[in-house]
Structure 1
Amino acid sequence: MTRRLLFLAVTFALVTLTVAADARPATLEIPAGNLSVLALGDSVTSGYHCNCDAFPAEYGDLLAQRNGTGVTVHNFGVGGIDSEDLLEELDRSSSQAAQAATDADYVLLTIGANDFAGHEDDVTAGRCTTECVTEELAGLTANLRDILDRITELDTHRTPEILVTGYWNVFKDGQVARNLYPQQGQNATEALTQATNQVIATAAQAAHATYVDLATPFETAPDITNLLAPDGDHPNAAGHALIADLLLKATPPTRKLTG
């Protein structure tokens, strides 16, 4: 934290950060003149297993540098949640995620991988691909539509810029996956990931949100293992930095403050 504050003092841009945590309540104040970033999603968003600044904080730094303004980041990423959980959270007006959505300039959304957790063993063993998760894919489609509608409805100050990411893999990847899964299991997880990303991209397009492809830059890296934490499931510091950079590149160059 000291390093970041010193750096931002030099660049004349301030990023304030709220992280959802069981141990302490989040504060939703946004300093006057600051842009507001709301991050919603699962353990990827929360920065689980990274021991680094998760991509929402890094994105906030990059946005502050680019726009020359203060940025407040509210990170409500929660490990283990699926799309139904997130929708329920946004439907509770008393939840801090819903409250933060009422005044967000940018919303970062990463959700969906945990919708398939109940079929992980079958898919990674190569016993099925998408045919065993047809109900889950349909549920994700419906939930994403409602989540994106809810985000827009909640923001009473402006229409937020919504950036929706896909996944490089809904399960493990890199050397960990190569060690654990047979080749047919690796092929099945890739097929399911492609189907999931198509659902996410279609939902984003229908809601006039921006879909941010993570699969291509992760999977075309010299070795995706170098972008992942030791568990093979979550991004490491390099992976989070890459996600933040991709999000910034997908963000419109200016954002007019209103309200």
Structure 2
Amino acid sequence: MDPKSVRRAAAGLLIAALAGCGTLPSAAAAPAPSPAAEPVVVTLGDSVPAGSACDCDPFPVTYARTVHAVSENLAVPGYTSADVLTQIPGVRSRLATADEVVLMIGANDLAAAFDADTSFADAATTMRQNVTAAIRAIDAVRATRVLVLGYWNVVQDGRVAAAAYGPAGVQRSVTATEYANDGLREAAADTHATYISTDAAFHGPDGTQDPSNLLAADGDHPNAAGHAAIAALLPPLRSGD
């Protein structure tokens, strides 16, 4: 047998041996696809989304869990609309990852006017301007869906409010809240945002329901049931958002 034939025969025996041992080289397996990253919901706002007085998961956390998203809850108790507008430059990196932004702010603007007995109209106008500017600042970081939530009351409500304010004070709180919600609705309309009312969840479809069972002992902030009611109002994340 000539040398070339010997080499070919040896190579054939080697391949056969490797195949029998299960070590025959093969094409590299395709890498497993990386799991899709969970969407991110960023929340900006005041003590309501922050979960003050609740000792529970606040609604941004419950909502994010429901839509299989990560909650970035940046709400701060005591914040006004001006505070949120000032906050945005410092949280640009968080907003840059957002698939949705939830904005609930403005109660403290109108609560200050309620406490000081100053103009609700003036407070609401300033609040609307700040919220509109905040939404546009968010857009400048990342154009994504923004949900603007209204309030059932900007101060105390239910049995606590009745005892603290009396009938005339309760009516003033209703008026202050209407100014706040009108301003928030207009800010959403001025931009691409979606306004979501929370009033019916707390006061019922006809506006006469006592919200006390949805409020913490302070009569101001939602309890666990109240946060669940707010979370249930928020729509599913849209594909591509």
Q: Tell me the TM-score normalised to structure 2 length.
A: 0.80
Partner of 1:141: 128
Matches of 1:188 and 1:55 in 2, distance apart? 27
Quick check: 2:121–2:179 contact (8 Å CA) kept in 1? no
Unaligned runs of 5+ in 1: 1-30, 65-70, 124-130
Identity of aligned residues (%): 37
User: Is 2:78 the counterpart of 1:76?
Assistant: no
Matches of 1:117 and 1:222 in 2, distance apart? 22
**How far is the alpha carbon of 1:166 from its aligned partner?**
0.2
Which 10-residue stretch deviates more, 138-147 or 235-244?
A: 138-147
Quick check: 2:110–2:180 contact (8 Å CA) kept in 1? no
Matches of 1:116 and 1:222 in 2, distance apart? 23
User: Is 2:20 the counterpart of 1:36?
Assistant: no
Structure label with greater radius of gyration: 2
Counterpart of 2:107, as a letter, is A
User: Is 2:35 the counterpart of 1:48?
Assistant: no
RMSD of aligned alpha carbons: 1.7
Partner of 1:190: 174
Matches of 1:84 and 1:117 in 2, distance apart? 14
**How far is the alpha carbon of 1:122 from its aligned partner?**
4.8
**How far is the alpha carbon of 1:110 from its aligned partner?**
0.2
Quick check: 1:89–1:98 contact (8 Å CA) kept in 2? no
**How far is the alpha carbon of 1:32 from its aligned partner?**
5.2
Partner of 1:59: 63
Matches of 1:146 and 1:119 in 2, distance apart? 21
Q: Once the two structures are superposed, what CA deviation does each residue of 1:145-199 show, in whole Å capped at 9, x if it has no partner?
A: 10010111111xxx31111100000100011001101211111110110111011
Output aligned runs, 1:1-259, within 5 Å.
33-64=37-68, 71-90=69-88, 92=89, 95=90, 97-123=91-117, 132-155=119-142, 159-220=143-204, 222-248=209-235, 251=236, 254-256=238-240
**How far is the alpha carbon of 1:222 from its aligned partner?**
4.1
Matches of 2:45 and 2:95 in 1, distance apart? 13
* Structure 1 counterpart SS, 2:181: helix
Counterpart of 2:119, as a letter, is C
Partner of 1:126: none
Quick check: 2:114–2:176 contact (8 Å CA) kept in 1? no
Matches of 1:76 and 1:169 in 2, distance apart? 22
* Structure 2 counterpart SS, 1:107: strand
Matches of 1:197 and 1:154 in 2, distance apart? 26
* Structure 1 counterpart SS, 2:232: helix
**How far is the alpha carbon of 1:99 from its aligned partner?**
1.8
Unaligned runs of 5+ in 2: 1-34
* Structure 1 counterpart SS, 2:220: coil
Q: Tell me the TM-score normalised to structure 1 length.
A: 0.75
Matches of 2:209 and 2:112 in 1, distance apart? 31
Matches of 1:121 and 1:82 in 2, distance apart? 15
* Structure 2 counterpart SS, 1:51: coil
Matches of 2:114 and 2:209 in 1, distance apart? 26
Give the 4+ runs in structure 1 shifted more than 4 A. none
Quick check: 1:40–1:110 contact (8 Å CA) kept in 2? yes
Matches of 1:118 and 1:33 in 2, distance apart? 41
Matches of 1:194 and 1:120 in 2, distance apart? 12
**How far is the alpha carbon of 1:121 from its aligned partner?**
2.9
**How far is the alpha carbon of 1:119 from its aligned partner?**
2.8
